[in-house]
């Protein structure tokens, strides 16, 4: 069809003539409401971005001669980040003569990876980068999986009884609560009669 005929058809239908495949032989055009098409494609893009899991990389910095208690604290931070579903970039900073002993840093990173292996795995092996040594640890599970697991986790009572729901016992305190205002009121009337 000629371009003039296609444009006339588009004007009669009160639509736009849009070229959808310019590289095809012959080029392919379509009659559509272009404003509506752009709006719908923007909505689809927004929806797909909403369901995307964003990867967050947290960083922990260590020194080769770290104290055992400080190491425990840093390890706790790494575990917390991995449980939240974030990746962790562990950096060991070398100063002065420590640069001639990269094996100390490598052993420290291997020890940390071994301590948190149930929560994460080594995504990028330790490598020297100038005065620093860097290793990346990724979580075993992604964030959405962790959220789904939390939502579908059974109640503790059902788990204790082998999967059967346990009826909740009636609380005797509810009767006591209802009786308490009457006794207060009767005490108040007794007190008012005693004073008068």
Domains and CATH numbers, the chain: 1-35 (3.10.20.80), 57-144 (3.30.110.10)
Look at 130 and 179; give whichever has higher pLDDT: 130
Instruction: For the chain, count helices (H), then strands (E).
Output: 7, 6
Q: Mean pLDDT across the stretch 143-153?
A: 52
- Computed over every residue of the chain, the mean pLDDT equals 78
> Nearest-CA neighbor of 117 among 144, 140, 101?
140
Task: Report the C-alpha gap between 133 and 102 in whole angstroms.
Answer: 8
In 20-172, alpha helices (H): 34-50, 68-83, 102-115, 143-152, 156-160
What is the model's pTM?
Answer: 0.48
- Band (pLDDT 50/70/90 cuts) for residue 92 is very high
What is residue 184's predicted lDDT score, i.e. its pLDDT?
47
Q: Show the tokens assigned to 71.
A: 């190491």
Tens-place pLDDT, residues 21-62: 888 888 888 888 888 889 999 999 888 887 777 778 899 999
């Amino acid at each position: 069809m000629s371009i003039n005929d296609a444009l006339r058809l588009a004007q009669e239908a009160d639509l736009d003539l849009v070229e959808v495949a310019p590289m095809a032989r012959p080029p392919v055009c379509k009659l559509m409401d272009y404003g509506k098409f752009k709006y719908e494609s923007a909505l689809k893009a927004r929806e797909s971005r909403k369901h995307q899991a964003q990867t967050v990389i947290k960083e922990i910095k260590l020194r080769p001669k770290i104290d055992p208690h400080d190491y425990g604290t840093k390890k706790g931070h790494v575990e917390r980040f991995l449980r939240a579903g974030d990746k962790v970039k562990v950096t060991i900073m070398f100063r002065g003569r420590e640069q001639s002993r990269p094996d100390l840093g490598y052993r420290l990173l291997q020890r940390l990876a071994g301590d948190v292996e149930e929560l994460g795995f080594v995504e990028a092996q330790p490598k020297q980068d100038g005065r620093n040594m860097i290793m990346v640890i990724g979580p075993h599970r992604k964030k959405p999986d962790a959220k789904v697991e939390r939502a579908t986790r059974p109640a503790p009572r059902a788990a204790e009884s082998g999967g059967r729901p346990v009826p909740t016992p009636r609380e005797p305190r509810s009767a006591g609560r209802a009786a308490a205002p009457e006794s207060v009121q009767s005490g108040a009337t007794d007190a008012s009669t005693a004073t008068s």
